[in-house]
Amino acid sequence: MKKIIIVSVLLISSTFLSSCSPIVQGAAAVTTVATMSNDRRTMGEIIDDKTLYINLGNIVSKDSALDKSHINFNVYNKSILMTGEVSSDELKNYLDELVKIQTPSNGQLINQVEVLPNSSYLSRAKDAVISVQIEALFLDQEVFHPTHISVLTEAGVVYLMGAVTKREAEHATNIASRAKNVKKVVKLFNYLLVRPAEEIERDNKKREEAEKKAALKLKQAELEAAQNDLQNQINELNSN
């Protein structure tokens, strides 16, 4: 696991440091490979989100007015998170209107773009490392599946998106806040009253299968021990 995480950090850092494009995408959106069977969105919703994400990047990257801007996007269940920096309030308003046209009628635009000088590639690489740290920490817990939450970090501020229960949201927030160099954690969740029934059923089946395997392994160990004991008795009789 540690080797995989280190490789991911190096790859992401390389991408951030070598990019010449004004559009530098969020670490989580670029690196996360979701296990479709665990995602709480339908296959159609996942495809719609990915298509929207790609379209937004293409639209902004081809707009000459935004050539010197740094914009990140993250999309979850038609909600669009936009972060980064632009040079003026006029440009921020222009960007807002441009993206609103692409925002689905039942979605929302969360505009966190700041009127500031563009962040350095080193700063963006550090943000990528924070996102990787958090995603790795999400792997080492059992309250929620890592694919339930999408992570984007901008200037040390971590944005969490996903469909989760309040318990899962608080647990994820506490984990993310413990990552190194995190300044703040912003929750942008779609809250569920309860976990999906099919998910609970799937987890129960996995638990039952794990218990059966553990019981079988214990039984095999007992049989091997009994067999060894019997063989020792036979060897002792033969020696007499």
Mean pLDDT of 99-109: 93
Picking from 28, 13, 30, 20, the residue whose alpha carbon sits closest to that of residue 124 is 13
Question: What pLDDT is stored for residue 40 in this prediction?
Answer: 92
Question: What pLDDT is stored for residue 22 in this prediction?
Answer: 44
Residue 36's pLDDT band (cuts 50, 70, 90): low
Give the whole-number percent of the chain exceeding pLDDT 90.
63
Encoded tokens for 55: 């379209």
Return phi, psi of residue 44, to 5°: -65, -40
Residue 176 reports pLDDT greater than 90: yes
Residue 108 reports pLDDT greater than 50: yes
Question: What pLDDT is stored for residue 33 in this prediction?
Answer: 44
Question: What pLDDT is stored for residue 237 in this prediction?
Answer: 78
C-alpha torsion 201→77→7→129, nearest 10: -120
Residue 38 reports pLDDT greater than 50: yes
Mean pLDDT of 1-24: 41
Interval 188-208: pLDDT, tens: 999 999 988 888 787 778 777
Residue 123 reports pLDDT greater than 50: yes
In eight-state DSSP terms, residue 163 is E
Measure the CA–CA gap between 134 and 140, rounded to whole angstroms. Answer: 10
Measure the CA–CA gap between 155 and 62, rounded to whole angstroms. Answer: 25
Mean pLDDT of 66-71: 95
Measure the CA–CA gap between 223 and 132, rounded to whole angstroms. Answer: 45
**Whether the model pTM is above 0.85:** no
Burial class (CB in 10 A: 0-12, 13-18, 19+), 234: exposed
State which amino acid sits at residue 220.
Q
Interior/surface letters 72-103, b for 16+ CB within 10 angstroms, e for the rest:
bbbbbbbbbbbbbbbeeeebbebbeeebeeeb
Question: What pLDDT is stored for residue 178 in this prediction?
Answer: 95
Residue 76 reports pLDDT greater than 90: yes
More confident residue, 21 or 40: 40
Sign of CA dihedral 85, 61, 27, 143: positive
Q: Which residues contact 80 (CB under 8 A, 6 or more apart)?
A: 52, 56, 73, 74, 99, 102, 103, 107, 108, 109, 110
